[in-house]
């Protein structure tokens, strides 16, 4: 069983998206706060990012936002957080988000969300960490999971032998908010020794 006190959430900053995804972001934030789990995220005040952070803050849990200076200058940094850390680069941002979290949850998002997911998956494959990764694939108003095409691609990569079958254990797909906390609790504690220290 994994002891999770902080979760890093990757998600989009776009605002004009399916209301179902916006509701999911707020719902996840409420769920984390009710469980006393702190949030680590990219520090934005807009889109799903802002909704998750606002819901966690409203629920009384701690929120750490980590944002690169150039984005903060565009005034997209969330000034109402428990803690907003302004860093020099995107690389520093992602490193600190990874270091400060006990687990990762992925909501709908764009290119940046995909990049963060694939990097944290690759880090886990390379034994840079052994933390749970949950892909939250809640349905949109069309009834389809946002990440269905992605999970199909991941399975295709494995099926074409570009990744080993055991890599499918690197992540878990969750299709209901109610399954998030049980999945975090059921995840085995980190057992893979880190072979390369994160620099």
Give me the residue spans of the domains in the chain. Answer: 6-186
Residue 20 contacts residue 138 (beta carbons within 8 Å): yes
Q: What is the pLDDT of residue 178?
A: 95
Q: How far apart are CA 28 and CA 5, in angstroms?
A: 15
What 3 state SS string does 33-50 have?
A: HHCCCEEEECCECCHHHH
Helix (H) or strand (E) holding 10: strand 6-10
Record: fold of 6-186: Rossmann fold (3.40.50)
What 3 state SS string does 163-184 have?
A: CCHHHHHHCEEECCHHHHHHHH
Q: Which residues of the chain have pLDDT under 70?
A: 1-2, 75, 190-199
Q: What is the pLDDT of residue 198?
A: 44
β-pair type (133-136, 38-41): unpaired
What is the tens place of the pLDDT at every residue in 158-191? 999 999 999 999 999 999 999 999 999 988 776 6
Q: How far apart are CA 169 and CA 4, in angstroms?
A: 19
User: Is the full-model pTM beyond 0.85?
Assistant: yes
């Amino acid at each position: 069983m994994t002891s999770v006190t902080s979760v890093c959430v990757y998600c989009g900053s776009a605002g004009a998206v399916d209301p179902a995804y916006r509701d999911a972001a707020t719902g996840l934030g409420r769920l984390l706060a009710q469980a006393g789990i702190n949030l680590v995220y990219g520090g934005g005040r807009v889109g799903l990012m802002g909704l998750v952070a606002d819901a966690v803050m409203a629920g009384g849990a701690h929120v750490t936002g980590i944002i690169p200076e150039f984005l903060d200058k565009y005034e997209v940094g969330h000034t109402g957080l428990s803690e907003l850390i302004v860093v020099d680069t995107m690389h520093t941002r992602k490193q600190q988000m990874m270091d400060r979290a006990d687990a990762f949850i992925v909501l709908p998002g764009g290119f940046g969300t995909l990049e963060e997911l694939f990097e944290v998956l690759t880090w886990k494959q390379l034994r840079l960490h052994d933390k749970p990764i949950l892909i939250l694939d809640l349905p949109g108003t069309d009834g389809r999971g946002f990440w269905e095409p992605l999970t199909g691609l991941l399975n295709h990569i494995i099926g074409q032998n570009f990744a080993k079958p055991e890599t499918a254990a690197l992540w878990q797909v969750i299709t209901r908010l109610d399954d998030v906390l049980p999945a975090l609790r059921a995840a085995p504690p980190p057992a893979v020794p880190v072979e390369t220290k994160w620099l």
